[in-house]
Chains A and B, each alone.
Chain A
Amino acid sequence: MSRAPVTRPSIGARARRLGFAITQPVGSVVIALVIGAIIMIAFGFDPIKGYGGLFRYAFLSEFNLTVTILNSVPLVFTGLAVAFAFRCGLFNIGAEGQLLVGSLFAGWLGTLIHLPMILTVPILLITGSVMGALWALLPGVLKATTGAHEVITTMMMSWIGLYLTSYLVKNVLMDPRSTIPASNKITEQAQLLTFDEILPFLFGRPTRLHIGVFLAVLVAVFIWYLLTRTSLGFSVRAVGSNPFAAEAGGVRIRSSIVVSLLISGALAGLAGTVEILGLHHRVFDRFSAGYGFTGITVALLAKNHPLGVIPAALLFGALTNGGAGMQLAADIPIDIVDVLSGVIIFLVAAEEIVKGLGRRQAKRQAAARSLALSSGDEGTVA
């Protein structure tokens, strides 16, 4: 049997597709910055000074860059969590609760465990993801069996998780020596290595950057592979795009829904676990700065692309960090950062409107193309 030559999409075509996909989110950010500038001017501030301060405090200097990157790490995980569920047509807005529950149990176990690091860290990461996944299990099962909407159920579970973890930290895990609600420190072997520990020749001084940064990138790549290159990912995307055709193609819709929410919950649980193991080294009451919710914005801006989540998370990590700088440098209230994220979300969400117009155009062109094809045939017939 001779193999037919296979044409691949040309690099040019791929680049064009990528360029097209990126234009819109980047455009949204640019427009948001312009609108932010207009608002600053309207209130008598100097936008150049403001954005200058934002940029400086977000990126310029090792300390600032470190904070920005550390801010982004949990956002990569929560962004992936929300994006994955989105690809199956599910809106997991309860990532915050999954994050808290996952990290609480991982952190708890982390205070007790005395094994070599090579075992401890994986065990704790798995614990955190499993608990996060479990927190998303009920919404998944309810959606699959009764159709109960995940927006309601994940949110409800999120509040339960929030108060449950808060209660446990204050009443069960509380370090008696601590003045604020926080658990004991996790053991030495449970803590993620920092950059200066693994790369002493690059980082002379101690840094807070930990290997969770690599883990975030690795997991993003893994999720990308899972979604675009495996049968599971294909089924999930098919359910998200057209559940009726997916069903006809033998996809088990219910199990796809449950599995998607489990994976989503696991990623959210991982977000919190990496925070505890890498940064805080103990569980604080409500330590998450709304990472689960910001993850929704991150996923939106990334258009639910697992690799797009990385730059999107960096942007929001930089915005929260640089916002404080803006306040220091130009006396501009930090709230302008919320305005910026609000405008970005608005513009990305408004995409559907823009897309709708584009689709009408595309439809017309498709009609024209099919015509061109049929008239092309005439030539060969005659």
Chain B
Amino acid sequence: MQAISESRPGAEGASEDIVVRLREISKFFPGVVANDRVNLDLRRGEIHALLGENGAGKTTVMNVLYGLYGPDGGSIEVEGRHVRINSPNTALSLGIGMVHQHFMLIPRFTIVENVVLGHEPRTGFGALDLVEARRRLTELSREFGLAVEPDRLVEDASVGMQQRAEILKALYLGAKVLILDEPTAVLAPQEVDDLFATIRSLTEGGLSIFFITHKLEEVIEISDRVTVIRAGRVIETVDTGQTTKEELARRMVGREVVLRVEKKEHAVGEPILAVEELTATDHRGLTAIDGISFVVGAGEIVGIAGVDGNGQRELEEVLIGFQKPTGGRILLSGEDVSRLDVRNRIDRGVGLIPQDRQRRGLVLDFDLVENVLLGNQWRAPYSRPLGIDYSYLREQTEETVREFDVKTPSVDVDASTLSGGNQQKLILAREIRRGPKLLVAAQPTRGLDVGAIEFVHRQLLELRECGVAILLISYELEEILSLADRILVLYEGGIAHEVSGDDAVREEIGLAMTGGSRRSE
């Protein structure tokens, strides 16, 4: 592959060492232009961020590069040579590897088995040479600082380790160009730091990286250059040092975006939710919430910060009534609701934005009308003596869709056809329109793009001004810092730290999230 640099066409970029160049790539899906004459290049050793909202076409163009889609127009050059990439195998043979957002690992295989799968070293008898495989894996792992346990089953490995295994798999196959599709979406904050350190060491080792993301902070922190993609088109490519978050957000969404919504000062009202010495177990029967107590007042947003797996899921489930607490009480406006079922809690004014929106929030094969009915089916204007008033419901649904700007061709389509952001808007709309006293919002903006996040945040703050008590459970520290009036850090089922939103110090909270401190009394 050495003769290539001499035959590089076009002298304009001669001073730059271009590894991959995409020229005028177009990709059409039925009725839609996913990529419209996209031009992109990747310099050797650089981290090139592709920034855009969900559905902007960033992943599509990378799937073209990785050979998963054939382009409908344009050409690709690798190391200055025209290539035709019609399968991931071709891409890999050209040194291009991709780590997808959803990992492509076999849960029942060990990490080393997964890494060598398809290109296994063999012994003289043709059997799998696990010793050799393990040796090569360890070598790569050490060289790039990607710590994995080779013999751990993938299903038992942490998400971070699975991701490192995916990267190692690409490296094992000889990747020189790595495409990372939203790699931080699944990671906890410290794991993100580790990943970024890894990415830097990879580029020092000579790799070049396409980094797909819709998070502005990440672009600023990790990338050398950034290309903004909107509606299938490249809006611009700039050096990261020459731009700002606000500038990028504007280009990405196509209008001015408020990254940190303004929060008005106002007094907190009477306590709505009071949790007293609450304990709960996880699905294995182990203690997940360990005697916590807190209060959320009317018009107050209390943020529960913490790393995933410290009791957040159980807290959500106990508060809405999916599981009963093993001890302690939950008081709603002074009434003990801890033994009531979900319906009775809804009737008393509890709303939920579930963490798992597709599983808990929506019936995906019901249309929007019936999804809006969910949680109202026994309630007065919807339920009539002779059955559900579908024409009233339909009217309400159309109003909901209009008011909350849910993008859909009609209210008769299945909820599964909505994008993630619109699904979330629908859930939010349904819960808000029910007029809750307490809203439990778990990960309300997970996976949403900047525009949708701004929308959700505005809605939450509006509810706060209306005097709704809001418990915000989030793994995004940034979100909690910008919204919460008070912050509790959940660590191993206990409250490790408590601070008012104004006095919050990011480092202290970060430390408490990892068990670095105990509750400051």
Contact = CB atoms under 8 A, between A and B. Distances in A.
B396 to A, nearest CB: 9
Given A3-B395, A248-B361, A230 B387 contact: yes
Interface stretch (A44-52, A109-117, A239-247): A239-247
A371 B57 contact: yes
Interface centre among A230, A235, A245, A251 (most CB of B within 10 A): A245
Contact of A366 (B254, B399, B416): B416
Interface string A1-43: 0011011110001000000000000000000000000000000
B485 interface: no
A179 interface: no
Contacts of B347: 250
A186 to B, nearest CB: 35
Given A9-B410, A367-B55, A375 B387 contact: no
A374 interface: yes
A238 B346 CA distance: 17
B283 interface: no
A7 B495 CA distance: 50
Contacts of B34: 368, 371
A231 B388 contact: yes
Given A234-B373, A368-B32, A248 B354 contact: yes
Contact of B364 (A235, A242, A374): A242
Contact of B342 (A248, A362, A374): A248
A249 B375 contact: yes
Interface in B371-420: 373-375, 377-378, 383, 387-388, 390-391, 394-395, 398-399, 402, 407, 409-410, 412, 416-419
B329 interface: no
Interface centre among B377, B402, B412, B416 (most CB of A within 10 A): B377
B292 to A, nearest CB: 22
A373 to B, nearest CB: 5
B264 interface: no
A6 B394 CA distance: 7
Nearest to B253: A381
A199 interface: no
Contacts of B232: 371, 375
Contact of B417 (A252, A369, A381): A369
Interface in A201-251: 225, 229-231, 234-235, 237-238, 241-242, 244-251
Nearest to B354: A248
Contacts of B402: 4
A382 interface: yes
A360 interface: no
Interface string A346-382: 0000000000000000101111111111110110011
Contacts of B119: none
Given A370-B419, A371-B32, A244 B360 contact: yes
Contacts of B391: 6
A247 B342 CA distance: 7
Interface residues of A, number: 43
A93 B407 CA distance: 43
A372 B254 contact: no
B387 A229 contact: yes
Contacts of B370: 234, 238
B31 A368 contact: yes
Interface in B327-372: 341-343, 346-347, 352, 354, 356, 359-366, 370
B374 A374 contact: no
Given A229-B390, A248-B342, A372-B32, A9 B412 contact: yes
A372 to B, nearest CB: 5
Given A231-B383, A247-B342, A370-B55, A364 B360 contact: no
A149 to B, nearest CB: 20
A248 B375 contact: yes
Contacts of A366: 416-417
Given A6-B391, A244-B359, A374-B231, A382 B254 contact: yes
Given A234-B373, A245-B363, A250 B342 contact: yes
B55 A235 contact: no
A13 B412 CA distance: 10
Contacts of B387: 225, 229-231
Contacts of A229: 387-388, 390
B343 A252 contact: yes
A327 B114 CA distance: 60
Interface string B303-338: 000000000000000001010000000000000000
B29 interface: yes
Contacts of B472: none
Contacts of A249: 342, 374-375, 377
A368 B320 CA distance: 36
B196 to A, nearest CB: 29
Nearest to B53: A374
B255 interface: yes
Contacts of A364: 29-30
Nearest to A17: B412
B230 interface: yes
Interface in A240-279: 241-242, 244-252
Contact of A242 (B341, B342, B359): B359
A6 B32 CA distance: 29
Interface in A290-315: none
A148 B354 CA distance: 29
Contacts of A247: 322, 342, 360
Contacts of B359: 242, 244-245
A369 B402 CA distance: 19
A246 B390 CA distance: 19
Nearest to A381: B254
Contact of B398 (A7, A230, A245): A7
Interface in B21-42: 29-34
Interface centre among B32, B360, B395, B416 (most CB of A within 10 A): B32
Contacts of A251: 343, 377
B378 A250 contact: yes
B56 interface: yes
A73 to B, nearest CB: 27
A4 B399 contact: yes
Contact of B407 (A13, A235, A241, A370): A370
A248 B342 CA distance: 7
Interface centre among A229, A238, A251, A370 (most CB of B within 10 A): A370
A244 B317 CA distance: 11
A7 B346 CA distance: 30
Contacts of A230: 387-388
Contacts of A4: 395, 398-399, 402
Nearest to B29: A368
A229 B387 CA distance: 6
A248 B320 contact: yes
Contacts of A369: 31-32, 409, 417
A320 B57 CA distance: 57
Interface in A322-349: none
Contacts of A381: 254-255
A366 B30 CA distance: 10
Interface in B193-237: 230-232
Return the 9 tightest CB-CB contacts between A and B, nearest first: A250-B343, A249-B374, A368-B29, A375-B231, A368-B32, A249-B375, A230-B387, A229-B387, A370-B419
24 contacts: A4-B399, A229-B388, A231-B377, A234-B370, A235-B377, A242-B363, A242-B364, A245-B362, A245-B374, A247-B342, A248-B360, A248-B361, A250-B347, A251-B343, A252-B341, A362-B417, A367-B29, A367-B55, A368-B30, A370-B418, A374-B55, A374-B231, A374-B407, A377-B407
Given A4-B398, A242-B365, A250-B342, 11 more contacts: A4-B395, A6-B394, A9-B410, A235-B377, A245-B363, A365-B30, A371-B29, A371-B231, A374-B55, A375-B231, A378-B230
Interface of A: 3-4, 6-9, 13, 225, 229-231, 234-235, 237-238, 241-242, 244-252, 362, 364-375, 377-378, 381-382
